[in-house]
Chain A
């Protein structure tokens, strides 16, 4: 008998039924998508633009501390909204049905140093398809942190509380190089030239971003070069911290599960849904909080329906909770502080050696 990762063991037939209920919910939601969603994303886009203008405008008067603080916060707000509710969700193709080139998932380019193309590959494809499958989903610890006992401990991880802080502060850079095969390079499996080739588009994007925030706008400010530069630096840093926090709360809280590669074999749609549910965790909060998190506070719904406009997740989450209750499945949610506390605990706990846990034989189905 194999060990089930679901708290409540479900049979194959039950999982299919569970999947069918989620499919029905999906169909109902899709049928309702239209003008209101289009208006919403246009409004988000406008808010990004207005807050950016206001933030950058105030920073030109950054010699006065209140203007500097407010300008920096507005610019950070603009970047957070752009990265999360706009960029992340648009790149999932959530608004492709509008046929609007501004919101086209395949061509959208977001305001961080990472390229959208590499994100579409590491995140949209690998992370969303192989969510929490060890060895397939690079987001598990980002190759830098040990967050689950199932990852083998090495002395390197003793320093991870420190790496985590640095990683959080520089999160956009981590995202940018995630797809670079640095490991393969250091192991001598790819040449310097091959690595350079891979780096070229990333380098171009990095240069563009650096020029924009740290050369162009400070220069435009003339004598106020320094306050503008600092404001941009802090705004980028705040955005980094915020996105790190939200994203880590999505998959690394106490009760999320990781899976062995064997679950992928002949995985049905129902099982895929179940894996998304068990591998994700939500955050409770108000409307503004959800928008600022790009609705990734509804990580479970985002993983079940990555292509449905994120503003729908709040309503969907009520229905998903009801479904989970019917099947006796745990719905992982909590406040930001509780969930983030668990993330911090994982970072600290698994820096230290622990009894190795094996994924061997774990499956989603019990029978």
Chain B
């Protein structure tokens, strides 16, 4: 391993990374000159519509901390799509991704139904602040749906380290019992983490078992399930609505609160006059522009100077990356809710708040 880097650096001026990757893929699919790739080595259905993929990363993938997220990119019907998932790193050479299928979700459907052993995914650098909390204080974890994934990594990490002697409570919401992931593992976790307590809360289950609960995450339910809230380090992960409700229910009662919310892409039908927020990731600027206007003139009116040529969608000079948000192609290309590598500013307009690589 240690000899590869200096040799690679020495010959790199001679190497065209794309050509290298083309030939390398004939031998080992995840071998690449510079791209962080990982090969799927196993696949397991872990709950209804939920699949765990075990991946073997190449040397460009950098291991993240338990609880962090990575951007995962896969080619779905010819288009490379990117979504964030929270992987579980069992070692530098192995990580597990657990994906729950979102109805109509192109990426999650592909990952859960079409992705097979041998396929290659691209794994971006890890990000996020839900890293292992102070082991001496009591932890309160709140998960809804696939929000369990960063929390299970934190729990596994704690179990391995046997670091936490303080109590850990996990409140885990799902629609039905069949939607719960990692149930066996969670059920056995107290063997290794004596202070661990699990509550499963099901919102759509017809008949509940004695240890199960029903109900929304409001202050009353939270207070009932966790009698001593003060002093707890609370971590919540789930859809935006869930995180908002939990934040409200716990406000002022816990020692600290951190959360990660994921929102299914909202097809926001903005009206033309409505202002939208544009975040420029490189300069860090935030501006407000009218939704009806093409992005190039709108950005110029706000004092930006993006590169341009034809101003009519043919030369590609104005193209820049779109990191998030929905845009409409004014030359008949329809609405695209996906992040893209090249968005032509002169013939696109925002369909809601967006973030650009400018």
Contacts and interface: CB of A to CB of B under 8 A. Distances in A.
Interface in B327-358: 329, 331-334, 338-342, 344
A100 B334 contact: no
Contacts of B312: 129, 269, 272
B80 A100 contact: yes
Contact of B78 (A27, A34, A128): A34
A26 B316 contact: no
A272 B338 CA distance: 31
Contacts of A38: 75, 77-79
Contacts of B338: 99
Interface in B295-342: 309-310, 312-317, 319, 329, 331-334, 338-342
A98 interface: yes
Interface string B53-80: 0000000000000000000010101111
Contact of B315 (A27, A35, A129): A129
Contacts of B75: 38, 98, 100
A350 B196 CA distance: 90
Interface stretch (B17-25, B92-100, B131-139, B279-287): B17-25
Interface in A65-110: 91-93, 96-102, 104-106
A26 B339 CA distance: 23
Contacts of A129: 309-310, 312, 314-315
A23 B332 contact: yes
A30 B332 contact: yes
B109 to A, nearest CB: 15
A104 B342 contact: yes
A46 interface: yes
B318 to A, nearest CB: 10
A106 B312 CA distance: 17
Interface residues of A, number: 39
B316 A49 contact: no
Q: How large is the interface on B (under 10, 10 to 19, 20 to 34, 35 or more residues)?
A: 20 to 34
B14 interface: yes
Contacts of A37: 78
B310 A307 contact: no
Contacts of B23: 49
A260 interface: no
Interface string A19-36: 000010011001100111
B316 A120 contact: yes
A45 B341 contact: no
A231 B309 CA distance: 39
Interface in B102-117: none
A39 interface: yes
A112 to B, nearest CB: 14
A96 B342 contact: yes
A336 B313 CA distance: 30
Interface in B6-41: 14, 18-19, 22-23, 35
B31 to A, nearest CB: 15
Contacts of A126: 309
Contact of A93 (B14, B18, B82, B319): B319
Grouping DSSP codes into helix (H, G, I), strand (E, B) and loop, the A interface class, with mixed when no group exceeds half, is: helix
Interface centre among A93, A99, A104, A307, by most B CB within 10 Å? Answer: A99
Nearest to B14: A216
B290 to A, nearest CB: 22
Interface in B81-98: 81-82
Contacts of A39: 78
A92 B73 CA distance: 24
B319 A106 contact: yes
A128 B333 contact: no
Nearest to A211: B14
Contacts of B313: 307
Contacts of B331: 23, 26
Interface centre among B77, B80, B312, B316, by most A CB within 10 Å? Answer: B316
Contacts of B14: 216
Nearest to B82: A99
Nearest to A105: B316
Contacts of A128: 310, 314-315
Contacts of A318: none
B77 A35 contact: yes
B103 to A, nearest CB: 21
A45 to B, nearest CB: 7
A310 to B, nearest CB: 14
Contact of A49 (B19, B319, B329, B332): B19
A142 interface: no
A120 B313 CA distance: 14
Contact of A125 (B73, B315, B342): B315
A152 B333 CA distance: 43
Going nearest first, the 10 A-B pairs with the smallest beta carbon separation are A38-B78, A125-B309, A27-B332, A35-B78, A125-B315, A93-B316, A96-B342, A99-B80, A129-B310, A124-B315
Given A34-B78, A125-B310, A128-B315, 18 more contacts: A23-B332, A27-B333, A35-B77, A49-B22, A49-B23, A93-B344, A96-B342, A97-B79, A99-B73, A99-B80, A99-B82, A99-B339, A99-B340, A106-B342, A124-B317, A129-B310, A216-B14, A307-B316
8 contacts: A35-B77, A38-B75, A46-B22, A99-B340, A100-B80, A104-B341, A121-B309, A128-B315
